[in-house]
Chains A and B, each alone.
Chain A
Amino acid sequence: MIEIHDLHKYFGSLHVLKGINLNVEKGEVLSVIGASGSGKSTLLYCINGLEPVQQGKVVVDGTDVHAKGTDINKLRQQLGMVFQQWNSFPHLTALENVALAPKIVKGKSKAEAREIAAQQLKHVGLGEKLDVYPSALSGGQQQRLAIARALAMEPEYMLFDEATSALDPELVGEVLETMRMLAEEGMTMICVTHEMGFARDVSDRVAFFHQGVMEEIGPPEQIFGTPQSEHTQKFLANVR
């Protein structure tokens, strides 16, 4: 379970997260929507400790992410992350991209790591591309590679930071399909997304962020059907 208590985050004098309180249960799929600059992505970075926080805390399975004694590298193994810019490692083949972290972070043997990698690549539909370098993959394939790379660490949670917004429109579908598949398999997911269709169909809950505040959270039918806050109504009217 991920518990976020009164989380505040500043970039210099810019107050980007203003007291977020949020719990995400095991097996839940939460979509986070909102305009650019509303703090959605920053929230993900705070959850896996890529950004320090100034007030409040994030607790993952009982471990305080930002506490001094926390082994953050160990904790991050529980939190797979997929970025907007897919960030495949260009100097490694697809298989090596996925096998590297299990080998050097988890200490798996080379053969074991490669087996896990091959399995995960097959899982996301890249079973034919094991020995291909990322430069020979499309954006959608590279994003699925990034998903496989995160899954190879056998995380408890997956954080998606606008996983489809840097993709050409015709490639968005294959990545959403992969995310849908993970949701059906019961993966706990927090998806920052601009894909309203995905948010509506796949999520258990949807959170709407506006200027660093979580204005509204609830089941998709409620957020998309009868949004309470004026900002949510405005935002949804604009994206439709």
Chain B
Amino acid sequence: MFDYNFHWRPVMKSLPDLLEAALLTLQVAVLAMILGIIIGLCLALIRLNMRGPLRWIASTWVELARNTPALFQLFFFGFGLGAFGLHLSPYMIVLAGLTFNCAGYLAENFRGGFQAVPDTQIRASRSLGMTAWQAYTRIVIPQVFRIVYHPITNQMVWAVLMSSLGMLVGFRELSGETQFFASRTFRIFEYFAVTAVIYYVIVKLILGASRLLATRLFRY
């Protein structure tokens, strides 16, 4: 009835390759998050403070990022741009796709964060002679970051897990590498089981680090 024989040895043999691929996963996710935070912040500020075409672009970005499958967004940067003769490397496709997606989600988090900081904080800052820039960077944004800190952590986890879509555009991050070895050895279950454990450990490490950082950053 149950005649599947587990073979773990090939998996163990390629573990160093898998861990190296895991680093690549982490790298692309971290980069996408850094870019996503910067762009998301800009998108949120544009949506809150501007009118006209820039605002329209920002809104469209957020709408597309949040309301279409992440896989399609990756395909757009892969096959979509490819159709117009712009060929990105698999790494760039995943980085661009993840950044696009993260920026869209983070923009909404930031928007909520900005709306949660009372306007009177800006008035008080300006009344002390601060410029609008100083009021935003010294008073408003630090408070916004606390409000959106946990959503950002969630998004970071999501970015790591979502990067596994990279294997569908030929990117050999953790999932792509796993797929490569699995198809070579036909030990599909074993490979993906071990990879799942690696993902789990990465996510747990991120959550732990985030909690640690929070206690240092937010003393109030």
Query: Taking CB as reference atom, which chain A residue is nearest B217?
Result: A91
Give the residues in chain A near B127, CB-CB below 8 Å: 48, 50, 76, 79-81, 83, 150
Complex contact A91–B124 (CB within 8 A): no
Give the residues in chain B near A79, CB-CB below 8 Å: 127
Point out the residue from B131, B139, B146, B220 that lies within 8 Å of A73, measured CB to CB.
B131
| CB-contacts of B131-184 with A (<8 A) | 131, 134, 138-139, 142-143, 146
Interface centre among A80, A89, A149 (most CB of B within 10 A): A89
Give the residues in chain A near B130, CB-CB below 8 Å: 73, 101, 104-105
> If A100-B138, A133-B219 touch, does A87 touch B129 (CB 8 Å cutoff)?
no
Complex contact A85–B129 (CB within 8 A): no
B204 on the interface (CB 8 Å rule)? no
> If A133-B219, A133-B220 touch, does A104 touch B123 (CB 8 Å cutoff)?
no
A90 on the interface (CB 8 Å rule)? yes
> If A104-B130, A104-B138 touch, does A83 touch B220 (CB 8 Å cutoff)?
no
Query: Taking CB as reference atom, which chain A residue is nearest B124?
Result: A87
Complex contact B220–A135 (CB within 8 A): yes
A147 on the interface (CB 8 Å rule)? no
Interface size on B, as a range, is 20 to 34
A77 on the interface (CB 8 Å rule)? yes
B87 on the interface (CB 8 Å rule)? no
| CB-contacts of A89-148 with B (<8 A) | 89-91, 100-101, 104-106, 133-135, 146
Complex contact B120–A105 (CB within 8 A): no
Interface size on A, as a range, is 20 to 34
Give the residues in chain A near B124, CB-CB below 8 Å: 81, 83, 87, 89, 146
B86 on the interface (CB 8 Å rule)? no
Give the residues in chain B near A87, CB-CB below 8 Å: 118, 120-121, 123-124
B126 on the interface (CB 8 Å rule)? yes
Point out the residue from A74, A89, A153 that lies within 8 Å of B139, measured CB to CB.
A89
A90 to B140, CA, bound (A): 10
Complex contact A149–B120 (CB within 8 A): no
A120 to B120, CA, bound (A): 23
Residues of chain A whose beta carbon lies under 8 Å from any beta carbon of chain B: 48, 50, 73-74, 76-77, 79-81, 83, 85, 87, 89-91, 100-101, 104-106, 133-135, 146, 149-150, 153
The 7 closest A-B pairs by CB, nearest first: A87-B124, A101-B128, A81-B127, A133-B220, A76-B129, A105-B129, A77-B129
Residues of chain B whose beta carbon lies under 8 Å from any beta carbon of chain A: 118, 120-121, 123-131, 134, 138-139, 142-143, 146, 218-220
